[in-house]
Amino acid sequence: MAPLTVKLVKRNQPLYDSFDDSWQVVHNALEKIFSDNTSEVSFERVYRVVYDIAFLGETEKFYKKMTTYLIDRLSLSSQETFGNMDVSSGSDSSPKFIQCFNTFWLANNHHFKLIGDLMLYFDKVYSVPKRKLQVIDLCYSIFATAVLYPLQQNLLDAFTNTFNKIRDELIDSEDYGTVLEKNATIIAELKSLISMMELILVNDGNVSFYKTSFEQYFVDKTKAFYSNSIQWDNLPPLEIFYTIELLSPAEREISKRCFNDDTSSKLLNTVEEVLINDKASNIVNSLVSMAMSKQDKDLLEQIMHLSVENTEYTTRAYDAIKKYIFNDLQENICVDESLRRRSLMGIQWTFEITKKRTNYNKFLDIHYPNGNDASSYIIDESFVKFLEINIKQSIEFLCYYADSKLKMPPSDSVTLETIKSDLHPIIKFSESLSAMDDFMETYRVMLSKRLLHQRYTYEWEASVLKSLSSEVGSYLTVNIETMLKDMNISGDLTRSMKAMTGSKTTDSSLSHLDFHPSVLTMTAWPFDSMNEQEEEQTKLPSVMQRQLDVFADVYKKRYSQRILKWCHSLGLVEITYWFGDDESTRKYDLVLPFHSAIVFLLFVVENGENQEGKQTNQPWTLDRIQHATGLTTAEVTRQLISLAIAPRFRILKKTSPGPNIQSTDTFSINEDFKSPTETVRVKTVNLTPGTTTTGGNDGTSIQKSLERDRFVVTNAAVARIMKQNKTLMERELFEQCQAVLKPHFFLQNKTFQHSLHHLIDKEYLATDPDDPQVYRYL
Amino acid sequence: MSDVREEDTVTLIASDGTKCAIIKKAAIISPVLKAMIQGPFQEKDEVTLPDIGPDVLDKVVEYLELKCRSVREGGDNDETAIAQFKVPPEMSLELLLAADYLNV
């Protein structure tokens, strides 16, 4: 291996011995650079001089000299360039200033790069190791202090003025392309200045001038521009709307061209803030009203699409639509008090509502931002809000409507399809009502009447039930399901009974009875528990009783384990009767509640077909009627008032005039009875004080059963929540219960307190001995 | 080097006046040479380097062209390029100074 020999190199002598001479060379070169006279400068020579300076360890001195020189030089040339310039804020001079400043910057930036190149060696051995600014950054920093800061305000103003001028042109023109083309030079200058501001670092090189001094300033100015440059207050809403619609795309076009994504989105947000939050949100109400009252679908769609991302605006727009619908309903939907019956008012009222809903569905069927189909949600929310104003009445009316539809016999014009579409809105509403259970209960009561009175179509009821069940949950529809099942079973039983009796024909007198027994599961039907004693004491005409016995036999054969009890008061009797003398008879089909029927039948039996062989010439007094029917005195009185005194169905007459029934009054059939329709539905008057004879009949019982149900459900909810949490503050417990029960009904404090007391009584819960507000699960 | 056109090369002049041609692309690997050649200064196609001796300059040119080729051929095989580059030990100090001066 050859021995390593190191040749000692003697370094070449430095070009100049004294620092001042060396500096002079550098100084001359810098002067030449600043006066763009570089072709006379030898790079290598200057570079070597700097190399020598570094080698001789005069770096610090040199750096200071450089700094002082650059400050002087830049201040001077700035003075020369801008000193005589009119930089006052006149907007006409702004583009000129921008142009001038940009030229100045570009020239200097070029010089800085050259200087930076010359100082490459210096940076390597001094600036970098000593953590000083590299020479080029020193140049930028001095540019900032000597030029940029002194002229900052002028520059920013000129920038803003120039930019706003282009904005104005864009807003006035429909062709952005031409405007941008025309302003291409100035836009390029603005962009160049933006990169200058991004390049120049301030605060010890931590952050750019752009960030510290420009961006926020410009955002604020942009805000001011859009707030003030247009005389918003003098414009009508529609004009404002169209202006706003124009502005955002214009701003997007220009800011995208000039700024980085970050700033450009900041600017757009600002514009959005000014235009949408401040301006559009204020007029959205009147705009929406305008579009809706004019039925202008396109305008509404435009309004909805004005801002896709601004949720506040969108929410306001949705709210405006809701408000409009709600007001429309409040103004235009009212109860027609002139109608004779409450059910008719309800049907009419609901019909108007469903008509409105259909119209709104058609009108609001537009494209919504973010692809949401918001229409049905908006509509249902507004309608439900309207329904909630008088929730009791609304529920009643909706149910009347449903009832009227479902009662209709099937025909060509009334089919399952029409029923479905007619009832669809009602089912939709039911889901959102706060008292959903109330709705279901009212519906159930009306359904029970339809079923018992044989005025229903099974297929329809089942289909509506299915829809309801999917909207409100099966918890509330389980009873209805049982009711429908009962009707099915009853139909079966009737058929098998007919088959049996038909073949035997044991009793020919039964053949003219058309008997439809309904076997009801007691718990599922909305009736208070039956008064068994009263029912058993009721005496039926013998032919009816025999019919019931036949059915009872059939039933017992099939279900030997079950108890069959008759609940006559729920029954309905249809009697065809010829009123009047032999010459002028009028045939009427009387539809009577069961008790009315047995009272009426006493007279029919009396009149001729006396099968019982009773004495026929005794007058029918209250006492005798009561005795013959087995009903209570109060019930007989009620029936007699209904049949002989109430104005519309006076099919009996009594001997003494006047509205009261006395024990001496006797009754007979009113052969003069006349009615405009062949079918006469007789209603029994309600003598319970405080309720009206029309429709209020079931109100209190629904209310009672509702309260009972709600109480039970609340108990269960409280117990469940307490079991999980063990101890809870009363307020927390109440809130949790409310949340849990919200799908069923709105929990009132009264029910809640009632439930708490009940559970404490039953020793499920106890209050904390130290704090009565805290409950414990036991 | 014969396939390289005249205008693609630069002449480097050593301390004793020896001329040495180098491809421009190789020369601009040194930021200093790059600034000299591409800047608006006196130096255009001839760069005098009075501090660097002829043999050292040869070595510098060899290094720069080797480096240039290795970069062009796909970058990261610096290892092999360096393996091919032999420095006579007695020249090493001078070469280091030159490298320092040229910032390579």
Residue ending a domain, choose from A461, A489, A517: A489
pLDDT in tens, A118-157: 898 889 888 888 888 889 999 999 999 889 898 888 889 8
Q: Can you tell me the distance from the alpha carbon of A29 to that of A21, in angstroms, rounded to the nearest whole number?
A: 13
Q: CATH no. for residue A323? A: 1.20.1310.10
In this prediction, residue B6 carries a pLDDT of: 61
Distance, C-alpha A178 to centroid of its chain? 45
Q: Same structural domain for residues A348 and A467? A: yes
Looking at the structure, tell me whether residues A443 and A500 fall in a common domain. Answer: no
Contact A114/B39, CB-based, under 8 Å? yes
Domain extent at residue A731: 699-777
SS (H, E, C) A724-773: HHCEEEHHHHHHHHHHHHCCCCCCCHHHHHHHHHHHHHCCCEEECCCCCC
Asked if B40 and A114 come within 8 Å (Cβ–Cβ), the reply is: yes
Query: What is the 8-class DSSP label of residue A338?
Result: T
- The pLDDT of residue A96: 87
Among A288-297, A461-470, A640-649, A748-757, the range scoring the smallest mean pLDDT is: A640-649
For residues A729 and A598, membership in a common domain is answered with no
- Structural domain contains residue B86: yes
Assign A728 to helix, strand or coil.
strand
Query: For A346-394, how does the pLDDT look when each residue is reduced to its tens digit (9 = 90+)?
Result: 999 999 999 999 899 888 888 777 666 778 888 888 998 999 888 888 9
Chain B residues near residue A6 by CB distance under 8 angstroms? 89-90, 92-93
B-chain CB neighbours of A12 within 8 Å are 15, 50-51
Assess contact for A302 and A355: CB atoms under 8 A.
no
CA of A3, closest CA in chain B: separation in Å? 10
Per mean pLDDT, which range of A459-463, B26-30, B69-73, B96-100 is the poorest? B69-73
- Tell me, yes or no, whether B26 lies in a domain: yes
Of the given ranges (A109-123, A604-618, B18-32), which has the lowest mean pLDDT?
A604-618
Report d(CA A335, CA A345) in Å as an integer.
6
From A44's Cα to the closest Cα of chain B, the distance in A is: 7
Q: How many residue pairs bridge chain A and chain B with CB atoms within 8 Å of each other?
A: 63
Q: Backbone phi, then psi, for A198, in 5-degree steps?
A: -75, -30
* pLDDT tens digits, B34-87: 888 888 888 878 888 888 888 888 888 888 888 888 877 765 555 665 667 778
Cβ burial of A450 (10 Å; 0-12, 13-18, 19+) is middle
Residues of B in Cβ contact (< 8 Å) with A40: 42
For residue range A643-697, list pLDDT tens digits in order.
888 777 788 888 777 777 777 788 888 888 888 888 888 877 766 544 333 333 4
Q: How many CA atoms lie within 13 A of A293 on its CB side?
A: 11
Largest CA distance in chain A: 160
Position B79 in a domain: yes
CATH number for the domain that contains residue A611? 3.30.230.130
Which range (A567-581, A595-609, A622-636) has the least confidence?
A595-609
For residue A349, the number of C-alpha atoms closer than 13 Å in the C-beta half-sphere is 27
The answer on A482 and A382 residing in a single domain is yes
3-state secondary structure of A721: helix
Kindly state whether residues A217 and A75 are assigned to the same domain.
Answer: yes
Q: What is the pLDDT of residues A610-647, one digit of tens each?
A: 444 444 556 788 888 888 888 888 888 888 888 888 77
Nearest to A39 among B42, B50, B51 (CB): B42
Confidence of residue A743 (pLDDT cuts 50, 70, 90): confident
> Is there a contact between A714 and A737 (Cβ–Cβ < 8 Å)?
yes
Strand-pair category, A207-208 with A201-202: antiparallel
ipTM: 0.89
Tokens of A436: 């959903």
Q: Is the model's pLDDT at A229 over the cut of 80? A: no
Q: Kindly list the residues of chain B whose beta carbon comes within 8 Å of any beta carbon in chain A.
A: 15, 31-32, 35-36, 39-43, 47-51, 89-94, 97, 101, 103
- The reply to whether A161 falls in a domain is yes
Evaluate whether residue A271 is within a structural domain: no
Give chain A's domain count: 5
Whether A256 maps to a domain, the answer reads no
Q: Is residue A339 part of a domain?
A: yes
Mean pLDDT of chain A: 83
Is the domain of A461 the same as that of A578? no
Which A residues 14-73 touch B at CB under 8 Å?
38-44, 47-48, 51
Give the pLDDT confidence score for residue A256 in this predicted structure.
85
* Residue B1 within a domain: no
Average of per-residue pLDDT across A160-184:
85
pLDDT tens profile B89-103: 888 888 888 888 888
Domain boundary among A634, A662, A694: A694
CATH number at residue B87: 3.30.710.10
Cβ contact A633:A626 at 8 Å: yes
Amino acid letter for position A320: A
Question: Which residue carries 């002082």 as its tokens?
Answer: A68
Residues A340 and A475 in one domain: yes
Q: How many CA atoms lie within 13 A of A485 on its CB side?
A: 10
Residue A156 lies in a domain: yes
Does the residue A268 lie in any domain? no
One domain, residues A451 and A411: yes
**Is residue A320 domain-shared with residue A408, that is, in the same domain?**
yes
Tell me which chain B residues have a C-beta less than 8 angstroms from the C-beta of A37: none
Strands (E), A255-404: none
Rounded Cα distance, A653 and A640, in Å: 9
Identify the domain boundary among A655, A676, A694. A694
Residue A109 is predicted with a pLDDT of 93
Q: Which residues contact A21 (CB under 8 A, 6 or more apart)?
A: none
pLDDT of residue B82: 65
How many domains, in total, are found in chain B?
Answer: 1
Contacts of B45 (CB under 8 A, 6+ apart): B10, B11
Is residue B96 in a domain? yes
Check residue A11 and give its pLDDT: 58
Q: What is the pLDDT of residue B83?
A: 66
User: What is the per-residue pLDDT across A81-98, written as a single tens digit (0 to 9) for each?
Assistant: 887 776 555 557 888 889
Residues A468 and A502 in one domain: no
Mark whether A169 and A58 lie in a shared domain.
Answer: yes
Q: Phi and psi at residue A208, in whole multiples of 5°?
A: -80, 155
User: Is residue A106's pLDDT more than 50?
Assistant: yes
Contact residues, chain B, for A38 at CB < 8 Å: 39-41
Shared-domain flag, residues A496 and A483 = no
Q: Is residue A331 part of a domain?
A: yes
pLDDT, residue B2, reads 44
- Residue A288 in any domain: the answer is no
Q: What percent of chain A has pLDDT over 70?
A: 91
**Cα dihedral sign, A485-A487-A490-A494:** negative
pLDDT at A506: 54
